[in-house]
Structure 1
Amino acid sequence: MSSVIAFDTISQRLIASWTATPLVFENDPYDLPNAPAAFVYVEIWAIPGGFDQASIGAGARDDNLWREYGTLDMHVMVPKGTGSRDAREKAGQLIDLFRGFEIGDLTFLEASIGEGQPGRSFANHWAMTASISWRRDQ
């Protein structure tokens, strides 16, 4: 999982900017409605070895540049059997909230829709994943 700084920065941006569907973050409670409806399940994680030293020779260890790398996965959940267009559209809108932006200490980089995680079925929902990589310098 990511640092709390990265989690807070990303989750605050999503909460402030996304109104199209409910947002559900990792391990948050969410009661699925009786009739399947769209929502976004959010995972914010750091890649293995997520903190790297990016400079040397600055004196004390903490005076050097440290870089955290991660990925934001936003799983757009739509009712099963309703096609993929709505999920793709929402995934693109979610990526547009981050791609190319610097927010606080985070820089958002490459983005994809469905790359490595094609649409998948979960009970009464179908998921299309929007992913965007990020880095944080400290």
Structure 2
Amino acid sequence: MSSLSAYNLIMLRLAEWTETPVSEENDGFETPGVPAPFVYVEVVGDLLEQQTVGAPGNNLWLESGVIYLHVMTPNGRGSRDARGIAERLTTLFRERPLEDLHPRQMSIGAGDPGRSFGGYYAMTATITWDRQDYTNL
């Protein structure tokens, strides 16, 4: 999992999204009675690595991770809507750093085909990120 600081920055940016409901990990979201598009978000921190060597409390740390934006659309309607939503979601992060968190690479589908889950089709937009943090002891 990512640090709380990185997670909060990412979720704050996603609060700008109004096209569909956004669900995050373990939030109790219930799918609509009539299938409708929504986005399920996972924020994963892959690495926390010290970048400098110096006096304790004065070192730079690099945190890196991935945002998975699972665009869920009703089954049986093709992938066009899911691809469009995924593309518009990634524009929230393009060339827009989030304080000390910087989105780096983005992919729609990440080379994988969409998948079906119950009454939904999932197309995932993936955004890699890194965040520089100075130790504050």
- Scaled by the length of structure 1, what TM-score is found? 0.93
Q: Which amino acid aligns with 1:36?
A: P
User: Residue 8 of structure 1 corresponds to which residue in structure 2?
Assistant: 8
Residue 118 of structure 2 aligns with an amino acid whose one-letter code is: A
Q: Does 1:124 align with 2:119?
A: yes
Given that residues 118 and 129 in structure 1 are in contact (C-alpha distance below 8 angstroms), is that contact kept between their aligned partners in structure 2? no
Matched, 1:37 2:32: no
Q: CA deviation at 1:118?
A: 2.4
Aligned to 1:107: 102
Which residue of structure 2 aligns with residue 23 of structure 1?
22
| Structure 1: unaligned runs, 5 residues or longer | none
Aligned-residue offset at 1:101: 2.1
> Partner amino acid for 2:35?
P
Q: What is the one-letter code of the residue matched to 2:83?
A: R
**Structure 2 spans left out of the alignment, 5+ residues:** none
Structure 2: how far apart are the matches of 1:30 and 1:129? 18
Over the aligned positions, Cα root-mean-square deviation in angstroms equals 1.0
| Partner residue in 1 for 2:55 | 59
3-state DSSP of counterpart to 2:107: strand
1:91 maps to 86
Deviation at 1:116, TM superposition (A): 4.3
Of all paired residues, the percent bearing the same amino acid is: 47
The aligned amino acid for 1:7 is Y
Q: Give the 4+ runs in structure 1 shifted more than 6 A.
A: none
Tell me how many residue pairs correspond in the alignment.
133
Aligned to 2:130: 135
Higher helix proportion:
1
